[in-house]
A = this chain, B = another copy of it.
Amino acid sequence: MKKVLAFDIGGTKIAYAIIDEKGNFTNEVIKVTTPKTSSGIYELLKTVIKGSEDEIDGVAIATAGPVNNENNKIIGRVGNLPEGYDETDFLSLTEKPILLENDANAAAWAEFKIGAAKGTKDAVILTLGTGVGSGIIVNGKLLKGKSGSAGEMHVRFSFGHERQCGCGLWDCLETYVSGTALSTDAKIYLAPDATSYDVIRGLKEGNPKARAAFDHWQECLENTLVMMANIFDPEVIVLSGSMAQFVEYEKLNKQANEDILTQPFILKQAHFENNAGMLGAALLLIERL
């Protein structure tokens, strides 16, 4: 049975584990704080790889930032990782086969191969966290674009100049559909210091203001589903990330399917949680071994 060492490199933590060709984790996932320099990250990866090089068939890395699969390089500066990280020479880490993939794409691949989108050929996986990410499967393959950076969910949703987005523009989808967006709605509908947690709690308690905040957020999510279903005509749209647990799936599935021009899709919650990135990168590499 083939086994690979898989990493998930994020701005806060680096997680790693050994994963076999069936997608099983053969040890517990280890998490360490992300080093403050790009050379620190390189050394950490090198040390971990050395420690298990004898028992693995390759190294799979899910990372923040767009990845060019032709040369296993990261394209351009990655916001929450140290300067110079995009110039890391990942190929020199080991003589074993190595694969690098964007974390949202890798997580989408895990859902596609053995998770909520298993058995489909066309699927959209949206991650609703601090921001909104996506991994898109087109005819059984990851949508990458010319440089590996496809799937950025930045679209202006309003002319109101109401919410500034991290990308520099105003009123992007992300400012209406992410966890951060629900916090914004909390402040508008509940109180100036309210948070997304107050909305979720208020929803359970039947608070009408919390319901209004959540409904606005979920309507924007519906807008996003309609957009992606109209553009991609997927079999399934999968929601992952911290906000996915709060979505009213049945209601949203019905409403979005009424509003699209393409053929019906199925809305699902993701099967995997935090470790989907590592898992997907591992599966991508094992297919090529």
Contact = CB atoms under 8 A, between A and B. Distances in A.
Interface string A186-223: 00000000000000000000000000000000000001
A227 to B, nearest CB: 4
A157 B233 CA distance: 20
B122 A145 contact: yes
- How many copies of this protein are present in the complex? 2
A92 interface: no
Interface stretch (A37-45, A108-116, A257-265, A275-283): A257-265
Given A152-B230, A259-B169, A263-B75, A146 B158 contact: no
Interface string A118-140: 00111000000000000010110
B148 A226 contact: no
Do most interface residues of chain A lie in helix, strand or loop, or is the interface mixed?
Answer: loop
B263 A233 contact: no
Given A155-B227, A160-B159, A223-B155, A144 B139 contact: yes
Interface residues of A, number: 46
A1 interface: no
A146 B231 contact: no
B232 A154 contact: no
Contacts of A66: 262
Contacts of A254: none
B158 A158 contact: yes
A261 B169 CA distance: 11
A221 to B, nearest CB: 12
B155 A234 contact: no
